[in-house]
Amino acid sequence: MSEAATPGPGGVGGSGHPGLWELARTFNTISLASFGGGLSAWSREIVVMRRGWMTETEFLSAMTICRLLPGANQVNVAIFVGARMHGPGGAAAAVAGLIAIPFVIIVALCAFATRYQHVGAVQHVLAGLTPAAVALTLSMVWQTGRKTLRSMVPFALCVATTLAAAVLRVPLWATMLVLGPVGVFWSYRQPAPAHPGASG
């Protein structure tokens, strides 16, 4: 809690580049925090809010690009952030930090799956953890949405995307193909310095 400092305006990248070990350690923290889910919310919490490595907009655009590319979204985000901070080594360090300990945990748990599968307490704790993971994700929507959805067009785009992805289950590429250009065109037509964090 003591290190929960928000990045100053325009202070992106100003804190210097973290080393490889620092990257691996940070993504290990993100990974271990996501017990029960909510990995993308944790990534934002730590990369944007605590470390101030990226601005809100930069992180959101990285997330969108990572969703469009093949691969697990959160692994892709780690590669993206690692590459942004420290080149190919950084991308490798971030992924290694993200998956090393979970790999050991998952393989160990599966090897002993039969021993755990009928333990009621484990199931009940997990049943409580899922709402927490969903809640963390919802709070991320609230926190980023409050800053980003400040007029009708972005708000409508957000609602349309949610409906397409969660209710109609439209494939992601189709959603992006239709809504992506609308968003970019709208943003391009806005008066010049639309976002304070965009310069730098």
Partner 1 sequence: MSPARTLQICLLFGSSSLLSFGGGNAVIPQIQLRAVHTYGWITAEQFSQAFAIAQAAPGPSTLLVSAIGYQAGGIPGALLATAAMILPAWVLVYFAARFWLGAKRSRWRIAIEEGLAPIAIGLILASAIVIARSTDHGPMQYVLTVIATLVFCAVKLNPLWVMGACGLTGWALAM
The DSSP symbol for 111 reads H
Q: Does 177 bind partner 1 (CB under 8 A)?
A: no
Q: Which two tokens stand for residue 72?
A: 């697990």
Binds partner 1 by CB under 8 A, chosen from 34, 51, 53, 86: 34
Q: What gap in Å lies between CA 42 and CA 38, rounded to an integer?
A: 6
183 binds partner 1 (CB under 8 A): yes
Instruction: Specify the residue, 52 or 154, whose C-beta has the smaller distance to partner 1.
Output: 154
Question: Tokens representing 185?
Answer: 């065109």
Confirm or reject binding of residue 110 to partner 1 (CB under 8 A): yes
Choose among 143, 159, 126: nearest CA to 40: 143
What residues between 6 and 25 interact with partner 1 by CB under 8 A? Answer: none
What Cα–Cα distance (Å) separates residue 68 from each residue in 17, 140, 143, 154?
27, 20, 23, 19
47 touching partner 1, by CB under 8 A? no
Binding of partner 1 at residue 142 (CB under 8 A)?
Answer: yes
CA angle in degrees (0–180, nearest 5) for 64-166-133: 75
Does 126 sit near partner 1 (CB under 8 A)? yes
Q: Should residue 119 be labelled a site residue for partner 1 when binding is judged by CB under 8 A?
A: no
Among 14, 119, 184, 196, binds partner 1 (CB under 8 A): 184
